[in-house]
Amino acid sequence: MVFESVLIEVVNKDIGNYVENLNADQLKVGIWGGNVVVENLAIRPGAFDDLDLPVKTVFGHLGKLTLQIPWKDLYNSPVKVEVEGLYVLVVPNSDIKYDPIKDKKYRLDEKMAEVKKVEKAKKLELEKANPKQAEPSTFAEKLTANIIKNVQITLKDIHIRFEDKFSNPGKPSAAGITLDLLQVTSIARWGEQVPVDPANLIFKQLVISSFSVYWNSSSGNDLYSAQLTECLKLFKNRLAHREPERKYQHILGPINSTTLLRYNSKPEQDKSNFTVPKWLLVSDFKELSFSINKSQFQDIMSFVEGLEMMRRAGLYRKYRPNVPCYRGYYKEWWRFAYNCVVEEEVHRKLRNWDWNHILAHRKRCKKYYDAYKSKMATAKPSQQQVTACREIEEDLDALNIILVRQRVELELEREHIQAAKATPKSGWFGGWWGQGSSSTSESDGETDATKLVSKLENAMSSDEKAKLFKAIGYKEGDVPTDYPKTFVEFAFVFTLDSLSINVLDDTIPTSLRKVLLLQLSGVRTDIDVRPTSMRTATFVRLLNVVGTEQNGVVPQLVTIYDRKIEHPTSSSTAEVPNLLEVHFDKSPLDSISDMRVVVKAQPLLVVFDAKTVNDIQDVFDTSKPIAANQIQQAVQLKLTEIKTMSTAGLQHMVHERKIVEINLDLQASTLLLPENGFYTRDKGSLLIVSLGHIKVSSNPYDRNQVSEGIVLEAASNEHPDFMKLLSKLYDNYKIELTDLQVVYAMEGEEWESPKVALPDMMYFLKPSSLSVLVKRCIIQDDPRIPQIKINGSLNNIDIVLSERRLKDFAKLVVSIPLAEPKQAIQSSIDEAPIFDSTFSMTMALNQEQNRIANMKMPTDDIHQFKELELEFKIHEITTRIVDDNDAQLVFFRLHSMGVTVNKNTFDQHIKAELGGVSLEHTYNGDLIHVFETPGVSDVKYLFSVELVMVDRKCPEFRSRYLSTLQTLRVDFTHLEVCAHAEAILDLLQRANEFTKIFEQRDMRESEHTVGAARSKLIVNSPSGDKRTTSKNLPRHTVTTIGSKSGKSSSSSAKTHHDVIDLKLTVHIGGIAIKLQNNRKAIMRLAVKGGESSITLRKAYTMIDFILNGIEVINLESTNMYSKIICQADESKALKTNIVLFNAEKDSTSSVDLKITAEIARIRVVFLNSFVSSVLDFLDNFQDAQRKIVEASRTAAEAAKQNVQEAYTNAAKAELSLDLKAPVVYVPINEKEKEVFILDLGCLNISNIMWK
């Protein structure tokens, strides 16, 4: 018989390669008899060596293998397979030796996997462009159904364990998978009665018992170190259902589940009118538990790091010396480092640009082109053709293989070889496995499954085929039934009673180890697959999150919150709707869209618990550096292919674009920030933040509205309203945020009752709303059309701050305990390497930087894409601060604020505008206008900033942007400031009371930091060899290196002298400051505007500054001398030009600094009474004066040091100063016209630097 002989061959070959004591004769006799039972099989130690895995098997045992095959009624009776007692122990393989043959095969398989991935993607794109009718798969489907009907599988007592003591010798760990039972059996009818003939229904059941994944940290390698006879006993006793829970640190499980299957083999013949699904799969999980502790997280991160290190070391394995350790083999390891650099970097680069190598590569590509074309042109390629292609593929990289294959495919398509030479039909068995024809690029070799199918197909006689066809109900020529669109072919129902995620800290006592517990209850997922559509629905009933136990109380962190309920709770489930509903439809039947996403979420109450947050940070501490995260990769500019769409292309794009319908409704959740970081009802103050009601809806374009005429006019680019037409080619997404608010409740105040309206004083932020419209273009590769447009607006932001509540809020913030700061562990990777010649290494780095900087990119045919257009505006922001009596103290108002962003491929334009600003301070019943701008009543903006950033590769870099990388323009119109002495003192006093609360906490933290620093000094005080880095090199050493290598750097800098790094332009309209006190108005200082520009280049920095004028007005009404300081003429008050040279000096005549200045004449009136009034005003701010004096001393010391350094460095300055000294008027008194006039004349200063 065919099946018996093939089965014997397969079992002998595959099982025999993995077990040691398999009796082939006994196995053969058992299979012929229909009943095979083999026991106590030992797994070969080198069973997985051919896979080159980083692990090796040290122990393996298969307790029992049972096969029951009913040969007399093979197609109708059940086939039973039972595996019992499979135990495998693996450990890291630290002695993997390099095998060039295996490595070559591995590299080839990896390369061809990339090639197949690309070709699969191309095939999918081709199928999307040219959809074809699916090939009949009736035989495969019926055969699969018959196998599912008859096969019964049982797996019992499975334990696979991995023990590792090499990665971290001081902390061995063990991980494993255990399974008590996995059983697939046929059962009687289950579920509701359906109008289907029972003979056409198949019922199966899958039971999983005690499946778990564990990771034991700091676990001794007791199985690896045990004797082989004891190892089996330990394995049997350590299954999840036998071992006490404390022995295992489970990451997943144990899991117990039941899955039921109902298969309707002939839905076209039942009487349900296609209402009964063809496949119905119901899976029920009682509990799914994930758990992780601190030690497990650290071990897993170390394990991931080890895998990353092994992956990176795989490239250099061929050069690795075969020595046991580092000590005593330093010469071999230095030779290893040398070979890695020379062979993989130096020789590779030289070889790539060698003419002989290039010529050989071109010949190799031509040879592969001929061989692959010959193979593709043949219906069934010979083994010689396959081998010829395989040999050449070993020497080519994936990119060249893909390019050559693409050329061949285009050539064959052009010659119509596939149409001329019809592909022979595949066999019924081979077609099932997808290997009926070898004329595709995927037929690079036969797999074991292909060979097995070929043997069965060739060996089966016509009678055996007829028997098989009859058993599975198949007739040759059958075609799949054309089901209606509403028919559900596959239905899957997944229910999960409870999903829990535990975060533990195993470094503290057992009773307090639970840091966080997240529980989801009532999880259900429904999937319906129809012939042309699919529907997925997921429901979550309840969510509950608890934190770290504190003083016998476990805090509730997240619960369902509904203001209609008097007190939020998670215990009542009868009247609470589903917490979360997610619906996804692909090609929904009731909509024109291609995809539809609907999300609904109920509000949550989230409580901040400081200890829980701090403990989570401690568990997932990443202060230990991971080498995998420290790898810096070079990012290269990737230009998207330019596609200025043609008329036909644009029309096709519009009608083939997927329409996505989105509808998100997220109810407003609430965040609580309690005093002391621990929430207790009716105790302590509380900050309540309502995150707002979020709605996201889509308004996709309608294909029917975008007519062909519109597309033709838009594509021709000749229509007068071109952009209006293209606006129809956008998908619109509207985002709305409403009822965003912040409330502060002091101790004893009611805040959560739905029956009581909150007073205005409890609001920090009154309810606000935000609206954002996002437009996404359906044409992604046309440079004329912006890809994304975002328009947002925020109507009003109304902030109310009570002085009493503000102080209480400061106490709340201070009361929250923070996590103790951890000293980051400095990795040796970050330390600067030690070089024998620092100068030579610096020279090499400078040359590499200069080479990269001088690289030029061709700008021919480079277009810019309009990637983003963003416009956001806030209409008004108001802030009120009230005193303890709820009387208004300070009122701040911002009239409007807007931001505009235009991002293209090579440049970005950012513009921010600030409207009118006003600040009012109420002092002793009087209203003081501290700030006042004309923008409050005028449309003109007070302040605007425009930033332009350009990439050097921009095609218009020189023509449009004048070789400027960054341009910053600042425009300031006018601002009136009033400084009231007593009012300022009052505000300073209130502010000092507020800041003292934070100063107390800062003092405590500083004391803790000082203590930690002292302890660190004590720990790190022992002497030892210190590695010299660039940070602790002497200053003169670095300077010397820079000077020696300055020649090459200066030569590269000269190349970019015409490039401007930054150009800053500032325009000031005017600023006026008024000084007054309770008794009188003292003075008004007015700056009449000015302009300034700063230009930064590689060679120099240039500063231009112009001050239009300055004026000081005496506001005392009895004084006849009102203008204390004013200009004597109409010229500018100050003109200055400063140039700071940064380039390397090439001659003794070069200067470091060039200053040109003109100061106009001003008129000064000296009045003793006015000076006294100003000094009296300043005497009110003694603390500020003291700080000014201290700052002056510091500045004097710094100036003294700068003078000394300037003298040492012999800086040269070129001066050209034209100073017109002021004219001073000294009247006899403030009421007399007789004055003493002092004219100080003019002063000109200039110098010439001689060689």
Q: What is the pLDDT of residues 311-363, one digit of tens each?
A: 777 778 888 888 877 788 889 999 999 999 998 889 888 888 889 999 999 99
More confident residue, 640 or 809: 809
For 540, the enclosing helix (H) or strand (E) is strand 534-546
pLDDT at position 832, please?
A: 39
- Residue whose pair of structure tokens reads 């589940």 in the numeric block: 257
**pLDDT for 727 beyond 80:** no
Residue 608 banded pLDDT, cuts 50, 70, 90: very high
**pLDDT for 524 beyond 90:** yes
- Mean pLDDT calculated for residue range 1187-1205: 74
DSSP code, position 19:
B
The C-alpha atoms of residue 785 and residue 314 are separated, in whole angstroms, by 46
Q: Hey, what are 1043's tokens? A: 């000077």
**pLDDT for 445 beyond 50:** no
What pLDDT digit, counting tens, does each position of 896-916 carry? 889 999 998 889 999 999 888
**pLDDT for 570 beyond 60:** no
Distance of CA 167 to the CA centre of its chain: 29
More confident residue, 802 or 129: 802
Name the phi and psi angles at 521, rounded to 5. -120, 145
Q: Are residues 47 and 60 in contact, defined by beta-carbon separation less than 8 angstroms?
A: yes
Q: Are residues 692 and 797 in contact, defined by beta-carbon separation less than 8 angstroms?
A: no
Number of H helices and E strands in the chain, helices first, is 27, 43
- Mean pLDDT calculated for residue range 243-247: 54
**pLDDT for 1064 beyond 90:** yes
Residues 6+ apart with CB under 8 A from 1002: none
DSSP letters of 550-614? BTTB--EEEEE--TTSSS--SS--SS---SEEEEEEES-TTSS-SEEEEEEE--EEEE--HHHHH
Q: Hey, what are 14's tokens? A: 């595959």
What pLDDT digit, counting tens, does each position of 170-226 carry? 778 888 898 989 998 888 887 777 777 777 788 889 999 989 998 888 765 566 666
In terms of DSSP bridges, do strands 55-68 and 1162-1165 run parallel, antiparallel, or are they unpaired? unpaired
Q: Are residues 130 and 472 in contact, defined by beta-carbon separation less than 8 angstroms?
A: no
- Residue whose pair of structure tokens reads 């519109």 in the numeric block: 710
What pLDDT digit, counting tens, does each position of 874-889 carry? 988 999 988 877 788 8
Q: Hey, what are 576's tokens? A: 């609470």
Q: Hey, what are 955's tokens? A: 């095609």
Highest mean pLDDT among 234-248, 1016-1030, 1041-1055: 234-248
- Scored b (16 or more CB within 10 A) or e, 90-125 reads bbbbeebeeeeeeeeeeeeeebbeebeeebeeeeee
Q: Hey, what are 655's tokens? A: 């009608």
Average pLDDT value over all residues in the chain:
76
Highest mean pLDDT among 148-157, 234-243, 1141-1150: 148-157
Which of these ranges, 281-285, 298-302, 722-726, 1092-1096, has the smallest mean pLDDT? 722-726
The C-alpha atoms of residue 240 and residue 250 are separated, in whole angstroms, by 10
**pLDDT for 368 beyond 60:** yes
Which of these ranges, 685-699, 984-998, 1214-1228, has the smallest mean pLDDT? 984-998
Residue 969 banded pLDDT, cuts 50, 70, 90: very high
More confident residue, 370 or 478: 370
- Mean pLDDT calculated for residue range 400-409: 88
Residue 75 banded pLDDT, cuts 50, 70, 90: low
- Mean pLDDT calculated for residue range 630-655: 44
**pLDDT for 151 beyond 60:** yes
Instruction: Residue 1136: name the closest of 1100, 1071, 1091 by CA.
Output: 1091
Residue 1019 banded pLDDT, cuts 50, 70, 90: very low
Instruction: Tell me how far apart the 2 most distant CA atoms of the chain are, in Å.
Output: 136
Highest mean pLDDT among 191-200, 544-553, 1028-1037, 1201-1210: 544-553
- As a whole number of Å, the CA-based R_g of the chain is 41
The C-alpha atoms of residue 150 and residue 141 are separated, in whole angstroms, by 15
Distance in angstroms between the alpha carbons of the first and the last residue of the chain: 108
Number of Cβ atoms within 10 Å of the Cβ of 1044: 12
- Scored b (16 or more CB within 10 A) or e, 190-205 reads eeeebebeeeebbbbe
Q: Hey, what are 751's tokens? A: 């805040």
Name the phi and psi angles at 1238, rounded to 5. -120, 110
Q: Are residues 296 and 251 in contact, defined by beta-carbon separation less than 8 angstroms?
A: yes
Domain boundaries, given as residue ranges, for the chain:
354-446, 1093-1172+1208-1251
In terms of DSSP bridges, do strands 907-914 and 670-674 run parallel, antiparallel, or are they unpaired? unpaired
The C-alpha atoms of residue 742 and residue 554 are separated, in whole angstroms, by 26
Name the region of 135 (left: φ>0; alpha: ψ -120 to 50; beta: rest): beta
pLDDT at position 334, please?
A: 92
Exposure of 81 by Cβ count < 10 A (0-12 exposed, 13-18 middle, 19+ buried)?
A: middle
Q: Are residues 928 and 983 in contact, defined by beta-carbon separation less than 8 angstroms?
A: yes
- Mean pLDDT calculated for residue range 149-177: 82
The C-alpha atoms of residue 339 and residue 356 are separated, in whole angstroms, by 23
What pLDDT digit, counting tens, does each position of 790-833 carry? 999 988 888 988 888 888 888 888 888 887 766 554 444 444 34
pLDDT at position 714, please?
A: 52
Residue 495 banded pLDDT, cuts 50, 70, 90: very high
**pLDDT for 709 beyond 70:** no
Whether the bond into 555 is cis, omega within 30 of 0: no
**pLDDT for 433 beyond 90:** no
**pLDDT for 872 beyond 90:** yes
Q: Hey, what are 600's tokens? A: 């609904």
What pLDDT digit, counting tens, does each position of 265-295 carry? 777 777 777 888 888 899 999 889 999 988 8
pLDDT at position 845, please?
A: 42
In terms of DSSP bridges, do strands 173-186 and 556-560 run parallel, antiparallel, or are they unpaired? unpaired
Q: Are residues 561 and 576 in contact, defined by beta-carbon separation less than 8 angstroms?
A: no
- Mean pLDDT calculated for residue range 370-399: 87
**pLDDT for 306 beyond 60:** yes
Q: What is the dihedral of CA 49, 55, 58, 62, to 10 degrees?
A: -80
In terms of DSSP bridges, do strands 1213-1220 and 1162-1165 run parallel, antiparallel, or are they unpaired? unpaired
pLDDT at position 229, please?
A: 63
AA letter at 1024: G
Q: Where are the alpha helices (DSSP H) in 931-1032?
A: 981-1019
Number of Cβ atoms within 10 Å of the Cβ of 1109: 20
The length of the chain is 1251
**pLDDT for 1102 beyond 70:** yes
Q: Hey, what are 835's tokens? A: 């070089």
**pLDDT for 837 beyond 80:** no
What pLDDT digit, counting tens, does each position of 1160-1171 carry? 989 998 888 888
- Mean pLDDT calculated for residue range 765-786: 84
Geometric angle at alpha carbon 1237, from 1233 and 1242, rounded to 5°: 150
Q: Are residues 699 and 718 in contact, defined by beta-carbon separation less than 8 angstroms?
A: no
Name residue 550's beta-bridge partners: 553
Residues 6+ apart with CB under 8 A from 1219: 1157, 1159, 1242, 1243, 1244, 1245
**Which residues in 655-802 belong to E strands, given as ranges?**
660-666, 670-674, 686-690, 693-699, 730-745, 763-777, 788-802
**pLDDT for 463 beyond 60:** yes
- Scored b (16 or more CB within 10 A) or e, 130-157 reads eeeeeeeebbbbbbebbeebbebebbbb
The C-alpha atoms of residue 1109 and residue 1111 are separated, in whole angstroms, by 7
- Mean pLDDT calculated for residue range 931-939: 62
pLDDT at position 1249, please?
A: 72
Percent of the chain with pLDDT over 90: 19
pLDDT at position 807, please?
A: 86
More confident residue, 37 or 705: 37
- The SS3 of residue 1052 is helix
pLDDT at position 971, please?
A: 92
pLDDT at position 18, please?
A: 72
**pLDDT for 1220 beyond 70:** yes
**pLDDT for 438 beyond 80:** no
Highest mean pLDDT among 30-34, 435-439, 936-940: 30-34
The C-alpha atoms of residue 941 and residue 898 are separated, in whole angstroms, by 10
- Residue whose pair of structure tokens reads 């109420």 in the numeric block: 922
In terms of DSSP bridges, do strands 201-216 and 1110-1114 run parallel, antiparallel, or are they unpaired? unpaired
Percent of the chain with pLDDT over 70: 69
- Mean pLDDT calculated for residue range 728-756: 83
Residue 552 banded pLDDT, cuts 50, 70, 90: confident
Residues 6+ apart with CB under 8 A from 52: 96, 99, 102, 106
Q: Are residues 83 and 154 in contact, defined by beta-carbon separation less than 8 angstroms?
A: yes
More confident residue, 250 or 307: 250
**pLDDT for 1023 beyond 70:** no
pLDDT at position 1137, please?
A: 93
For 1078, the enclosing helix (H) or strand (E) is none
Instruction: Supply the pTM of this predicted model.
Output: 0.73
**pLDDT for 1051 beyond 90:** no
- Mean pLDDT calculated for residue range 1204-1229: 81
More confident residue, 124 or 642: 124
- Scored b (16 or more CB within 10 A) or e, 3-17 reads beeebbeebeeebee
pLDDT at position 432, please?
A: 44
AA letter at 290: F
